[in-house]
């Protein structure tokens, strides 16, 4: 039996900021967008983002390799790239 997964989308975060701060929705949305934009730019630059009590975002290189097309079984080369990794902080480990 599969467990139901609840999702939180960006608009949910905006609404929570509005509820906690009393800011108008447009200003809360701008604040959330600004935070995500800064995080994206930092990760593109290869910076590590450390949010104390929450976790650490890092960008790691992804290896070149050979994969398989699941339908045909044909080999497919996987180009090297970068992937974002998240390591939860101590406060998030309590949620396990």
User: Which pLDDT band holds residue 56 (cuts at 50, 70, 90)?
Assistant: very high
Q: Is residue 2 part of a domain?
A: no
What is the radius of gyration, based on Cα positions, of the chain? 19
Q: Is residue 1 part of a domain?
A: no
Helices (H), the chain: 10-21, 25-44, 90-93
The answer to whether residues 37 and 67 belong to one domain is: no
Q: Is residue 19 part of a domain?
A: yes
Q: Is 43 helix (H, G, I), strand (E, B) or coil?
A: helix
Quote the tokens at residue 41.
Answer: 């730019």
Q: How many independent structural domains does the chain possess?
A: 2
Tell me the per-residue pLDDT of 6-43, one tens digit each, with 9 for 90 and over: 899 999 999 999 999 999 999 999 999 999 999 999 99
Q: Is residue 76 part of a domain?
A: yes
Tell me the per-residue pLDDT of 65-94, one tens digit each, with 9 for 90 and over: 888 999 999 999 888 899 999 999 988 876
**Which residues form the domain of 73?**
48-96
The answer to whether 20 and 28 are in contact (CB under 8 A) is no
Cα 28 from chain centre: 20
CA–CA dist 96, 18 (Å, integer): 28
CA–CA dist 50, 58 (Å, integer): 9
């Amino acid at each position: 039996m599969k467990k139901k997964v609840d999702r939180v989308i960006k608009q949910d975060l905006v609404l929570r900021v509005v509820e906690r701060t009393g800011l108008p929705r447009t200003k809360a949305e701008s604040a959330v967008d600004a935070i995500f934009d800064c995080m994206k730019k930092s990760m593109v630059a290869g910076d590590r983002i450390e949010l104390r009590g929450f976790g650490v975002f890092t960008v790691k290189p992804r290896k070149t390799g050979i994969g398989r097309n699941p339908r045909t079984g044909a080999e497919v080369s996987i180009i090297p790239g970068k992937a974002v990794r998240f390591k939860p902080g101590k406060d998030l480990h309590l949620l396990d």
